[in-house]
Amino acid sequence: MKLQLKLAMEMCLVAFTCCLTAHASLGGDMASVHNDQAKLQGTLQTTNKSSYDVHEIQGTSGVVVREYVSRSGAVFGVSWQGRTHPDLRLVLGSSYDQYIQEVQAQRAQRHGHGPLLIQTPGLVVQTGGHMGALTGKAFIPQNLPAGVRPEDIQ
Amino acid sequence: MRATYLSSIYLALGIFSSVAILGCGSSGTTSSPASQVSNQVSNVQPIAVNQGPASNYVDGAFTSVTICVPGSTTSCQTIGGILVDTGSSGLRILSSALTVSLPQQIDAGGHAISECAAFADGVTWGPVQKADVKMAGEVASSLPVQVIGASNFSTIPTACTAQGAPEDDLGSLGANGLLGIGQAVQDCGLSCSESGFVQNTYFSCPASGCIAITQSLAQQVQNPVASFATDNNGVIVELPTVSGSEATVNGSLIFGIGTQSNNGLGGATVFGTDPFGDFTTTYKAVLYQSFLDSGSNGIYFLNTSVTALPVCTDLTFLYCPTAAQTINVVNTAQPGTNGATAPASFIAGNGDALVKTSNNAAVSDLTGPQPGNFDFGLPFFFGRNVYLGITGKSTPAGTGPFTAY
């Protein structure tokens, strides 16, 4: 009984860890980059910069997702470009709900359609383009490595 | 990264783009477009920049569209407050504005087909239905259109909300519908019709829940203009100059390019584009992707770090320079098309001051940030006649896609 309970708890912990990782991208780690690659059925190409790496996932949906990973292994930024937006739950990870709430809040004061710029202390998201050619980027300002500017994420 | 994106477009365009522009008049004994016929119909559709049906819009051009049950002349409805959008393709109507009952598109298994359409600022979700779409004297028969926010499709699949926040009512859409009249014929195209990878755009919706499917080109939601019997090769958006801001201004949407006496190109510069209407813009010696989008309510470009224009403290999605600045750019055709290039300029005013000091709906100098490219929204259309040539359609300026002004 005790052993079974321990085993159950361990399995629960494994499942929990697995799913936290599986749904983390922005704010996640390299495991989440590989998870995104698998989910987006894409090929991965990595470019090394001085203080970070850019992992570009070319998905079969025609959307290119780039994930910016610091030397400490943290995903501090993401960007995308393609026919549509990628799965933002996957790409924005735990920031997705906040993003949707901020978009809806901005609509209340917005007077028409146009690209979005969401700026909060812990999250910046920009989306733009038009039907068939959409773009976006997101980053966690306090997680940018020293010397990295927001426009480096593109 | 941009090069990768562009090169994939070149591959997609391939042979087409090399012969598309300036390739007219190469067959037959006449240089007149095929669509030029003797029994001409009215091709002038009035548009107005006003506050729209939600009474709060700034810099949106609205029009009316008459829709009928296919084949019927009595089951019809004229719907006003439809936003004219050169940045998308296809007619989308809010369910709450629709009183006629249109036939539902179904798949081979008899299940209703619904669509998730992605835009820069959100998604529209709802069933694909068929209508005869009438504007001026033109008719698009049995055209697939999207009905947004239909109550019997109220459960939006997570694969759709994954692409953005839904715009499914008057408050979030700001219009009774969208009239997408961009360069593309279909709203998705081959990406959605080929079976290699099923896009989360078209869905089959049995009672158990909606599943992503492929959708043939003919069944996709599409640009009504391309389906007109005449004047179907493109449009001209004509709006007057706006000095500062004005309560409302009136203009015209002209159907056809070079098909009648009122829609010639005149002295307009023709820029070849990619199939979605993109061309390029040089600003401060750097080349960016760009597009003309009447459905964007400002000219949105780059970021403060590049433009040195601060964002507003209140309307944080707009630029707010203390004094208005003239922005000079050079627009160039999409590489691999006709090589056209011409300078353009516009003014970046103070967004907070322009929008908040009056209730005027037509504002000339509204600008704001946008990641990595130039979105020439409605203010760019003021005082310019803007032409959009539809992909694959012949005009006196060559075969689309192109844009001209």
Q: Is the pLDDT of residue B4 over 60?
A: no
Structure confidence at residue B201 (pLDDT):
97
CB pairs under 8 A between A and B: 184
- For A8, the token pair is 């159950």
Structure confidence at residue B39 (pLDDT):
66
Smallest CA–CA distance, residue B111 to chain A, in Å, is: 24
pLDDT tens-digit series, residues B339-352: 999 999 999 999 99
∠B160-B163-B169 over CA atoms, to 5°?
A: 65
Q: Burial of B403 by CB count in 10 Å (0-12 exposed, 13-18 middle, 19+ buried)?
A: buried
Structure confidence at residue A15 (pLDDT):
37
Which of A90, A99, A130 to probe the B interface (max B CBs under 10 A)? A130
Structure confidence at residue B38 (pLDDT):
52
- Is B294 in contact with B86 (CB distance < 8 Å)? yes
Structure confidence at residue A30 (pLDDT):
86
Give CA–CA dist B341/B336, Å, rounded: 13
Q: Is the pLDDT of residue B18 over 70?
A: no
Q: Name residue, tokens 């004297």.
A: B137
Structure confidence at residue B23 (pLDDT):
35
Minimum Cα–Cα distance from B296: chain A residue: A114
| DSSP-assigned states of every residue in B170-189 | HHHHSSSEEEEESS-SBSST
Smallest CA–CA distance, residue A8 to chain B, in Å, is: 30
Greater model confidence, B221 or B243: B221
Q: What is the mean pLDDT of residues B293-319?
A: 96
Minimum Cα–Cα distance from B314: chain A residue: A109
Give CA–CA dist B24/B403, Å, rounded: 16
Q: Do B278 and A133 touch (CB under 8 A)?
A: yes
pLDDT band for position B128 (cuts 50, 70, 90): very high
B57, B277, B371: residue with CB nearest A112: B57
Q: Do A151 and B188 touch (CB under 8 A)?
A: no
Q: Do A56 and B1 touch (CB under 8 A)?
A: yes
The percent of residues in chain B predicted with pLDDT above 70, rounded, is 90
Q: What is the mean pLDDT of residues B180-194?
A: 96
A64, A114, A151: residue with CB nearest B5: A64
Closest listed residue to residue B180, CA positions, set B217, B235, B141: B235
Smallest CA–CA distance, residue A11 to chain B, in Å, is: 27
Structure confidence at residue A41 (pLDDT):
79
Q: What is the mean pLDDT of residues B87-98?
A: 98
Q: What is the mean pLDDT of residues B306-332?
A: 96
Q: Do A130 and B291 touch (CB under 8 A)?
A: yes
A41, A56, A115: residue with CB nearest B300: A115
The ipTM, to two decimals, is 0.88
Closest listed residue to residue B180, CA positions, set B300, B260, B82, B287: B82
Q: Do A150 and B305 touch (CB under 8 A)?
A: yes
Structure confidence at residue A151 (pLDDT):
86
Question: How far, in whole angstroms, is CA B208 from its chain's centroid?
Answer: 34
Q: Do B277 and A130 touch (CB under 8 A)?
A: yes
B5, B297, B311: residue with CB nearest A114: B297
Smallest CA–CA distance, residue B257 to chain A, in Å, is: 23
Q: Helices (DSSP H) in B79-174: which residue ranges?
A: 158-161, 170-173
* Least confident range of B7-11, B159-163, B170-174: B7-11
Give CA–CA dist B309/A99, Å, rounded: 25
Give CA–CA dist B50/B68, Å, rounded: 26
Predicted TM-score (pTM) of this structure: 0.89
* Least confident range of A125-129, B14-18, B192-196: B14-18
Structure confidence at residue A102 (pLDDT):
95
pLDDT tens-digit series, residues A80-115: 999 999 999 999 999 999 999 999 999 878 889 999
A54 φψ region: left (φ > 0), alpha (ψ -120 to 50), beta (else): beta
Q: Do A136 and B87 touch (CB under 8 A)?
A: no
- Is B119 in contact with A85 (CB distance < 8 Å)? no
Q: Which helix (H) or strand (E) holds B326?
A: strand B325-332
Closest listed residue to residue B389, CA positions, set B226, B187, B172: B226
Residue-wise pLDDT tens for chain A (154 aa)? Answer: 444 444 444 444 333 333 333 334 898 888 888 888 888 878 889 999 889 999 999 887 789 999 999 999 999 999 999 999 999 999 999 999 999 999 999 987 888 999 999 999 999 999 999 999 999 999 999 999 999 998 899 8
Structure confidence at residue B9 (pLDDT):
39
Q: List CB contacts (< 8 A) between A115 and chain B.
A: 120-121, 296, 300, 317, 368-371, 375
B24 φψ region: left (φ > 0), alpha (ψ -120 to 50), beta (else): beta
Backbone φ and ψ for B360, nearest 5 degrees, come out as: -65, 140
A56, A88, A127: residue with CB nearest B162: A88
Backbone φ and ψ for B341, nearest 5 degrees, come out as: -150, 140
- CB-side neighbour CA atoms (13 Å) of B273: 29
* Least confident range of A55-64, B208-217, B246-255, B381-390: A55-64
* Least confident range of B21-30, B256-265, B376-385: B21-30
A56, A128, A137: residue with CB nearest B120: A128
Q: Which helix (H) or strand (E) holds B237?
A: strand B234-238
Which of B4, B57, B119 to probe the A interface (max A CBs under 10 A)? B119
Q: Is the pLDDT of residue B34 over 80?
A: no
Q: What is the mean pLDDT of residues B384-403?
A: 97
DSSP tag of B153: G
* Helices and strands in chain A: count of H runs, count of E runs: 4, 7
Q: Do B87 and A41 touch (CB under 8 A)?
A: no
Cα dihedral sign for B197, B199, B204, B207? positive
